[in-house]
Amino acid sequence: MIRGDRIGLRARHEDDIPILRTELYDDVVNSARAEGRPWRPITPGSKDPRLVGDDSNPAHVPFSVVELEGGTLVGTATLWGIDTHNRCAYVGLGLLPSTRGKGYGTDVVAALCHYGFVVRGLHRLQVETLSDNTAMLRAAERNGFVREGVLRSSAWVLGEFLDQVVLGLLARDWKPGSQA
């Protein structure tokens, strides 16, 4: 398990899947805003990679996020698009609605940075998020990510184009434990 201050990143367990399906992926608005593609339902028993870990894809590492105290599932975290040649990857997370606003996002991003930079030896991590996703912007910036640009009207979300913000962090600029 990769440990943050209050959360841990661990492998996806079978009993996580119904909770994640119901609380994250069956929520059309949340899913449409989090995915780079149109929402579609996930059928029960599906091996959809958003739910089930796929050990055969080294470019996508999904975690379940749990509270260290008690082990309660609070969401998902992912290092995806891992490029071993250029040593870079994307950071993503999704918190269950009942756990949002409690500071877990900043801790999850810190744990993903540790995994990416220390465990995987990556050089660069990147976040791409909707410009109105203040929680993700705040979590990334508290961990040292720098806004590098805005992709204007680049995301089609529920009937409208929205801007996306690109943030990056280089291993040399990362300071473990620097989140505010």
Domain boundaries along the sequence of the chain: 2-123
In the chain, % of residues over pLDDT 90? 74
The label of the residue with tokens 């030896």 reads 121
Confidence (pLDDT) at 102: 93
List alpha helices for 64-133, DSSP H: 104-113
Please state the CATH superfamily assignment of the domain spanning residues 2-123 in this structure: Gcn5-related N-acetyltransferase (GNAT) (3.40.630.30)
Q: What is the DSSP letter of 71?
A: -
> pLDDT at residue 40 above 80?
yes
Confidence (pLDDT) at 117: 98
CA dihedral 41, 45, 51, 53 (to 10 degrees): -150
> pLDDT at residue 27 above 70?
yes
- Which candidate, 50, 43, 47, 52, places its Cα nearest to that of 14? 52
Task: Give just the sign of the alpha carbon dihedral 28, 89, 133, 76.
Answer: positive
47 versus 58: which is more confidently predicted? Answer: 58
Are β-strands 124-130 and 88-95 bridged in parallel, bridged antiparallel, or unpaired?
A: parallel
Instruction: Report d(CA 124, CA 118) in Å as an integer.
Output: 12
Q: How confident is the model at residue 180 (pLDDT cuts 50, 70, 90)?
A: very low
Q: How confident is the model at residue 49 (pLDDT cuts 50, 70, 90)?
A: low
The label of the residue with tokens 């059928």 reads 43
Task: Give just the sign of the alpha carbon dihedral 36, 59, 95, 178.
Answer: negative
List alpha helices for 69-126, DSSP H: 104-113
Average pLDDT of the residues in 41-63: 80
94-152 pLDDT per residue, tens: 999 999 999 999 999 999 999 999 999 999 999 999 999 999 999 999 999 999 999 99
- Which candidate, 131, 135, 134, places its Cα nearest to that of 163? 131
Average pLDDT of the residues in 78-86: 97
Instruction: Report d(CA 62, CA 4) in Å as an integer.
Output: 16
Q: How confident is the model at residue 24 (pLDDT cuts 50, 70, 90)?
A: confident
